[in-house]
Structure 1
Amino acid sequence: MSQASSNFTRVGVPGAGKPVYAVGRAARAYVDIQELCKKGNYWATMVQNELVRLTSGKLGHNHVYVKRQTFPGGVETFFLKLPGCEATVKELPGGYYIAHLEVNDDYFALQEKGAKPGMHYAYKKPDSTWAFKFLNKAQLAIKDRIFNLQAGLPNSHSMDAADNALVSIGAPEEEILTAVDLGLAHIKNSPFNDNKVGDYGFNLMYTPGTGDKGKVGGCISLREALNPEYVERLMETSYILADAMQQAEKAGVKVAWVSHEAGSAYLTQAMSIVRSRGLMLSKQTIYLSRPLTNPDKAYNLSQELGMTLNAKLSHNNFNNLNELAAGAGNLWGVTTSIKRLRKDDSYKAFDYCKEVWGSIGSAGNVWKIGVAVTSGVAAYYGGLSAVVTAVGAGAGVTVPFLVDNMRSMAQWPSNQAAIEGMVKPKLEAWIAGFRK
């Protein structure tokens, strides 16, 4: 909907919200976007929706994909960087005008080819090899089912309404099929694995490129890995993810977003974008497999967005130095787990022990049990500040416990069986006492 002349176009519905005008060449570019929208172009619709949001008057620091600058005379200028589109917006009394709008008309076609970030559906062909299809309006036949794909909307692999649609989010990869293989492996190692994934596939947020595999979280610095919300180069993928989250919530689709390695940076930033729009994601959940960014950031955002989490939120392998460094800001999972233990009644005492155990997955077993037990106790005696001391003291406190029970543990067929059958009842009774 617009009022257009040769010099300007009004963005949005006249009389609704603050007036926003595209002027000069920006006006002609905006009209082109509208024409693409009429043809059902998903990318153009996404860009137009974002420009229409300007009418709400909420443009500012709370948008992670916006830069703000004040010029002489007090004129506020905003620089929006969206997928395939860059805009310069200047503030007027009571409204905005778009002074510059640069649009990549080929962006949608590049997404389909995998040359730009986009949402795809990965599936197994009859010959058991994997393939992928860009999420656009189309039908896809997989075994005995027909999938009705929608542009940018995660598709459920299961006919069971209780199951989540699964989305894999990883680091940039040169080949989509490499991202498919990695995504499948991490989904299978997540709490959302089921026997239908291998048969009917999953959604894939693909980012093309070689990645920054030697850098923490795909970021330049450790500081950015600990605070990924505002890393500019992640925004193209993160924005597409945020839009998919919004679409899924509107459509009532339950989604589990499973990130692996540097994918945790995109996931965290996408949730930050959704928060900036004032939306909730009550039908969605997350899991971070070997995250290269601070999991506590993702946890805090998930709570602000109303997500319901699985008992296990993340898993690390600290033989990887990047994971070790990124995990330091979260005390390697302990901080987040204690928050959940204190606030979430469905998160049981032994869930806490297992998650801390799993988060520091490659550390020595004695030290892991020590951290799980002593940090849980410290949280109730002295709050989070006591946890740091507890982590260091963990091994010493629990060595007697393990020595006394070593023979009993050896009777079990595996460490996991011993944990479930012997350690679990003892630790659950011990830590539960501190919840009162």
Structure 2
Amino acid sequence: MNQAVNMTAQRIGQPGTGKKVMVSAQLVSTYNKLIDLSKKGDYWATYIVKEIGQLTSGVSRGKSVYVHEDFSIAGYKLYRMMLPGCVANIVETPSREYQIEALDIDFSFFEKQVDFKKPGLLFAKPKRTGGWNVSLIMDKEVRGTDGKAGRTGYVKPQSKNKEDWIIVGVADLNPSPHDAAREVAAHISASHFKSEISKLGFNLMYTPGEGSVGGWRLAEANNAQKSERIHESAQVLADVMVKAQKQRKPVAWVTQYGGSGVFTQALQIVRDRGVRLDSHTAFLSGATTNTDRAFVLCRDLGMHVSPDDSFAKNQVLSVRQALGGMALGWAPVKTMVRRLRSQKGYGLKQVTSDALGLFTNGKDVQGIGTAVTTMVAAFGAGPLYGVCGAIAASAPVISAVATNIPAFDRYPNLQAAIQNTDRKLW
């Protein structure tokens, strides 16, 4: 049976080099369409063809592009390969050859990126009237088959000064790129990267979708590298990272809320490719996935985090952030210990600063018990001055409640949330 298939199938790569990879007969026309687009300069098609071609080097189970082995029986193994706009089912035979038996390709992937229906790297520009204009970043030098589709995924400097960090915000899932830009901008402004984004704009890694990454989803929060629902976005982001590194661009990544999950998985993919990111740095703001896992990957990739800067900051009263991003406090503690042991210049002063400044509203924790007691006593007594005092003392309680309102929780602090949000509270 295999011989009959091979007589009508098409081989990928040059005979005699690497492992034998065959495209099943019924998929040859689809694969050749992809090849034709690649030859005409379509960047997305070229990327897919290149990744599929990597099969000639074999399937590496540790490589993130191969999500998992679906089954293994009688010496045959089935893998799923997931790429942006493409899912391939691959059978490994007992003779260690590969056959592509299913190929689901979205040939409108680029158009969907332009329409914000697929993950992509955008540039957010401030409007004079408030809010943000967003558009897919294009490389003008290379055009696709229709004369409009250029290469995507190249970071854009927001400043003419080459010494400035190129700011890239990594957003959580969001159905609106404009809302994503607003939320991410608040996190960038609250970070230690000094950039006039309100005037210059910033790069935005956008992932369309509802809900959030991590948080209450504890399995996803603790191991974002394995989350399939953000795999497409992480692949796009990893490609952006590699391109920026090849050009030696100084990139500062600032993640917003569940954007930390997309960022973490992208780092894993980059590490699997054997690329270092020693011209990059990062800051995780309000993360809802394990921050220490992200730190380990950043360290392994050679990313620079200044000894005087925090790597991550969370709202301690946010349940989603406390569970997902902080792992109930263990994640930031482990990161501080790792930095103490291995990072030059990170000493007692820095770890003390991190411990005190790690939580954006940590003082509220101390005040909650006092506030509740004061409110009960004051309202029981009844005098107006007592009630007013109770309201003032109840600020920590108000902060704790507000921090867990979804529309507020996605911002770096309560003040930013009140200034920016106009959506329903629940």
TM more than 0.5: yes
The answer (yes or no) to whether the contact 1:166–1:257 under 8 Å persists in 2 is yes
Offset of 1:66 from its aligned partner?
2.0
1:316 paired residue among 307, 314, 319: 314
* SS across alignment from 1:168: strand
Amino acid corresponding to residue 110 of structure 1 in structure 2: K
* SS across alignment from 2:362: coil
Output the CA distance in 2 between the equivalents of 1:66 and 1:16: 26
Distance 1:330 1:55, change over 3 A: farther
Amino acid corresponding to residue 39 of structure 1 in structure 2: K
Distance 1:276 1:24, change over 3 A: same
User: Which residue in the other structure is 1:254 paired with?
Assistant: 250
User: Which residue in the other structure is 1:11 paired with?
Assistant: 12
Output the CA distance in 1 between the equivalents of 2:342 and 2:107: 48
Tell me whether 1:338 sits opposite 2:337 in the alignment: yes
Output the CA distance in 2 between the equivalents of 1:127 and 1:119: 24
User: Which residue in the other structure is 2:195 paired with?
Assistant: 194
- Post-superposition Cα deviations, 1:366-392, rounded to whole Å, max 9, x if no partner, equal 979xxxxxxxxxxxxxxxxxxxxxxxx
Output the CA distance in 2 between the equivalents of 1:73 and 1:312: 52
* SS across alignment from 2:123: strand
1:136 paired residue among 138, 141, 155: 138
2:112 paired residue among 110, 113, 116: 110
User: Which residue in the other structure is 2:121 paired with?
Assistant: 119
Output the CA distance in 1 between the equivalents of 2:219 and 2:334: 18
Tell me whether 1:223 sits opposite 2:225 in the alignment: no
* SS across alignment from 1:282: coil
User: Which residue in the other structure is 1:169 paired with?
Assistant: 170
* SS across alignment from 1:88: strand
Offset of 1:222 from its aligned partner?
1.4
TM-score (norm: length of structure 2): 0.76
Output the CA distance in 1 between the equivalents of 2:229 and 2:251: 25
Structure 2, unaligned runs of 5 or more: 1-5, 142-149, 368-426
User: Which residue in the other structure is 1:291 paired with?
Assistant: 287
User: Which residue in the other structure is 1:25 paired with?
Assistant: 26
Structure 1, unaligned runs of 5 or more: 140-148, 369-436
Amino acid corresponding to residue 249 of structure 2 in structure 1: V
Offset of 1:289 from its aligned partner?
0.2
The answer (yes or no) to whether the contact 1:241–1:270 under 8 Å persists in 2 is yes
Q: Number of aligned residue pairs: give it.
A: 350
Offset of 1:37 from its aligned partner?
1.8
The answer (yes or no) to whether the contact 1:324–1:332 under 8 Å persists in 2 is no
Identical aligned residues as a percent: 32
The answer (yes or no) to whether the contact 1:330–1:336 under 8 Å persists in 2 is no
**Deviating more after overlay: 13-22 vs 236-245:** 13-22
The answer (yes or no) to whether the contact 2:215–2:323 under 8 Å persists in 1 is no
- Superposed counterparts of 1:384-395, under 5 Å: none
User: Which residue in the other structure is 1:349 paired with?
Assistant: 348
- Post-superposition Cα deviations, 1:106-146, rounded to whole Å, max 9, x if no partner, equal 1110111001111111123566652112122239xxxxxxx
Amino acid corresponding to residue 346 of structure 2 in structure 1: Y
Output the CA distance in 2 between the equivalents of 1:342 and 1:87: 43
Offset of 1:14 from its aligned partner?
4.9
Amino acid corresponding to residue 280 of structure 1 in structure 2: R
Offset of 1:328 from its aligned partner?
2.5
The answer (yes or no) to whether the contact 2:260–2:287 under 8 Å persists in 1 is yes
- Superposed counterparts of 1:26-425, under 5 Å: 26-63=27-64, 65-92=66-93, 93-125=95-127, 130-138=132-140, 151-195=152-196, 197-212=197-212, 217-218=213-214, 221-310=217-306, 311-326=309-324, 327-328=326-327, 330-331=329-330, 333-364=332-363
- Post-superposition Cα deviations, 1:230-251, rounded to whole Å, max 9, x if no partner, equal 1111111111111111111122
- Post-superposition Cα deviations, 1:183-203, rounded to whole Å, max 9, x if no partner, equal 1111111122323x2222111
Output the CA distance in 2 between the equivalents of 1:219 and 1:325: 6
TM-score (norm: length of structure 1): 0.74
Output the CA distance in 2 between the equivalents of 1:64 and 1:43: 16
* SS across alignment from 1:30: helix
Output the CA distance in 1 between the equivalents of 2:286 and 2:246: 30
Output the CA distance in 1 between the equivalents of 2:49 and 2:165: 29
* SS across alignment from 1:172: strand
Offset of 1:206 from its aligned partner?
0.9
Amino acid corresponding to residue 160 of structure 1 in structure 2: N
Output the CA distance in 2 between the equivalents of 1:155 and 1:324: 33
- Post-superposition Cα deviations, 1:13-65, rounded to whole Å, max 9, x if no partner, equal 55543232222232222211122223332322222221122122243243254
The answer (yes or no) to whether the contact 2:216–2:323 under 8 Å persists in 1 is no
